[in-house]
Chain A
């Protein structure tokens, strides 16, 4: 579903991603872990088509980035730590706007379904400005699934949420995964992501330094796996690409 080969991203003289390889099969739920500044957000921005790779190949659903960005965008649903919603529009209006941007047919029925799914049907006519952080994030997920994307990308979706909101978000995430969607998610919260993802990849020094499925690691050993993969690969911190 997602194929990344020898991806390099440079900001002027600064090299953030150094020949990163990454594959995700259809239906996998991959958690992308890594310390701050490892390049997680940069990598995700490239996958979302918002940033161009300096070198290397990125293919999503068989379409290449950045050449076929428009085809990729139609198949992507993105949730970042910012909700990407307009505060002065109601929940319904926000969804209607994005549905029109994605050319979703049968729009009213679809909006209805999505609002139902994220549990905001009763607040549909309220301004998003009045929503709590958790509600905004749920609506953001609703926005991201409007056009029924094949691949979903989440960048730290739990940031700034309280326990209840996190739990509700997890429900929605499981729901998304259960529909056979391919999901890539970055997170700091190892405890939270532990029972969501089916595979864990560690990004450090601009490369994927370790990758393991949930079965391989076993329960409760995620933290140990994460720490080991960062400590064991000092080579990744060198400058050479």
Chain B
């Protein structure tokens, strides 16, 4: 066996580069196994199927409930992804590996959150056209896309923080939706209303309050999660 050669002089890794390293790691692992995305996708389609029977999505009522069904689907499928993404860190002790690195703890938060956001957006990008085809509704609407992005940002900002907490408890996966849903109600209400507004081509003044609410929520919760993440991982 060869002796260990000395490493080149190190530089202090920046917040951006370590965040991207974590994001890259999550994406390439997922690209290979596709475990998380396939589970989220199948689950999302099942939720839509259940709504189909539960609400009897006739053309007459479909119009009003579409945005509600979509957001309920995203919220349920989202917890699956959030749980799984954190469980892979916890199960093999990788969370400790991340914490041992001389990186800002916010890099861990942002890296994980961006990965979770990417997974959410992929699922949404698949669910939307599928829903359009199944129910013959046109969902290709720039306003709707923007609301979906904003809603997902807030959802993932809180979800990533809470999944980091829930994964460190005894009850684990079970706990995440219980912790998450009461806190994301403002997002769900605002996103459902704003999405419905865009789908009905309502005037901007009807949509604006919901848009603003989403924006405020996103800003507050990204900031607060950034501030408290240390307390959730540091012992």
Contacts and interface: CB of A to CB of B under 8 A. Distances in A.
User: When A and B assemble into the complex, do they touch directly, with CB atoms less than 8 Å apart?
Assistant: yes
Contact of A147 (B7, B17, B18): B7
Contacts of A83: 92-93
B29 A78 contact: no
Nearest to B20: A100
A27 interface: no
Given A85-B94, A86-B94, A70 B2 contact: no
A127 B32 contact: yes
Interface in A18-59: 45, 48-52
B29 A51 contact: no
Interface stretch (B97-105, B150-158, B177-185): B97-105
A120 to B, nearest CB: 11
A129 to B, nearest CB: 9
B159 to A, nearest CB: 21
Nearest to B32: A88
B102 A84 contact: no
A168 to B, nearest CB: 9
Interface string A186-205: 00000000000000000000
A110 interface: yes
A179 B99 CA distance: 26
Contacts of B101: 73, 98, 101-102
B17 A105 contact: no
Contact of A89 (B5, B6, B28): B28
A131 B94 CA distance: 17
Contacts of B25: 86, 89, 93, 97
A82 interface: yes
Interface string B1-12: 111111111111
Nearest to A102: B101
Interface residues of B, number: 39
B206 interface: no
A88 B92 contact: no
Contacts of A172: 1
Contact of A101 (B18, B33, B92, B96): B18
Contact of A76 (B6, B11, B28, B100): B100
B235 interface: yes
Contact of B7 (A52, A71, A110): A110
A105 B11 contact: yes
Contacts of A76: 100
A100 B10 contact: no
Contact of A105 (B1, B8, B88, B98): B8
B4 A84 contact: no
Contact of B1 (A74, A85, A88, A171): A171
8 A-B pairs with least C-beta separation: A82-B93, A103-B13, A84-B97, A148-B7, A88-B29, A101-B101, A100-B21, A73-B102
Interface of A: 45, 48-52, 70-71, 73-74, 76, 78, 80, 82-89, 93, 97-98, 100-106, 109-110, 113-114, 116-117, 119, 127, 143, 145-148, 171-172, 175-176, 178-179
